[in-house]
Amino acid sequence: MNTTSKATLSLTVAALSVASALSFSSSVQAIDSALSEKLGIADHAVIAHRGDSYNAPESTLPAYQLACEVGADYLELDLQRTKDGKLIAVHDDNLKRNTNIETVYPERADDPVNTFTWAELEKLDAGSWFNESYPERARESFRGLKLVTLDQVREIAEGCAHQPGLYIETKVPELFPGIEKDLKDDLTKHGWLDDDAKGKVILQTFNKSSLETLQSVMPTVPKILLLWAGDGYIPTKDSAPKADDESYAQYYARQEVASKEGYAEWLDYAKQHGAIGVGPSTIQTQHDDAWSSQFSYMELAAPWMVEMSHEKDLLMHVYTVDQAVDFERYRDRGVDGFFTNRPNLAVKTLSGGEGKDIQATLTKLGY
């Protein structure tokens, strides 16, 4: 075979390989889309993690309003309950990281949310910490921002032009007996569980017991079992302990699940207890800076893991993706949705659009 013939053959083989890959990718995406469509859930769903928490203080009004403006499919929140029964959006077990509680209630700074009344929590500043931690994204109007309730997040979704859904996690549910029923009552009262609200609410939890309770009180509402690896979760292979000079993101990145069988057990549990999908962690490509190192974890959405999930008719919504290269990488694996702190970047990358001018949008919103 002469050089010209070899070159022609190589080009032909390469073209066939690309065509085959594209055909396979299209087939995978068609299967994924069918799963989502059946449940009334957006395909490649953009789930605004605590709102747009990259550009505004997490779980505050501007974070959720901004997420609406940039086109997020869902507003995500962590549900906790105050001492007097108010359902609120707070992530941490206590409020030291993202409020000034150490100044306002110094002797109670380590106390959990459920020991405070809503009136007490309304006195806290939930925005100034963001300006101090991320001066490049600081705005004077963030100072003095308040914690928000479930109802406030719901009202933002209802007032948003494209009507995003709510994606609600029961956080440390063992501290809040009956919170699943409280959530059902609130959503029912405001019409969010009506028959025509298909796919508008998705419930999520890391807690197996809470998943079972959610299934018991809201059997027709889609649920996601969040996945983690390590003690009490998906078993991992033995590895060296975290080194002193190693970030948690670096440590997590080298963890591996012990077996496919161990991973499959969690998918089967999810399926058997009413979940329509799972929410595994991911590794961010760049995970060494002050921001991304907080949100880069273990690879629980490898190609075989995505395939296994879909074989069991389970959607896969991964957390927490904040970089364009990773939206593309996990989308190409067939992932169905993305928890992200950067919904504007997610919408821009996944739709091929231009995205929003964040600073101008915040200004328009009054911040």
- Please report how many Cα atoms fall inside a 13 Å half-sphere around the Cα of residue 143, on the Cβ side: 5
Coil/strand/helix, residue 43 = coil
Exposure string over 272-298, b if 16+ CB within 10 A, otherwise e: ebbbbbbbbbbbbeebeeebbbbbbbb
Would you say 214 and 181 are in contact if contact means Cβ atoms under 8 Å apart? Answer: no
Amino acid found at 62:
P
Contacts 24+ apart (CB under 8 A), 131-138: 134/291, 137/54, 137/55
Would you say 348 and 60 are in contact if contact means Cβ atoms under 8 Å apart? Answer: no
Expressed in angstroms, the distance from the first to the final Cα of the chain is 69
Cα angle at 77 between 73 and 82, to 5 degrees?
150
Name the token pair of 140: 């004077």
Tell me the catalytic residues: 49, 91
Amino acid found at 119:
A
Residue 112's nearest CA partner among 83, 151, 145 is: 83
Residue 201 and residue 50: Cα distance in Å, rounded? Answer: 15
Helices marked H in 40-139: 61-70, 101-104, 118-121, 128-133
Would you say 157 and 122 are in contact if contact means Cβ atoms under 8 Å apart? Answer: no
Residue 336's nearest CA partner among 267, 268, 276 is: 276
Would you say 346 and 340 are in contact if contact means Cβ atoms under 8 Å apart? Answer: yes
Tokens 């032009």 locate to 161
Residue 78's nearest CA partner among 100, 98, 93 is: 93
Name the token pair of 9: 């053959």
Coil/strand/helix, residue 281 = strand
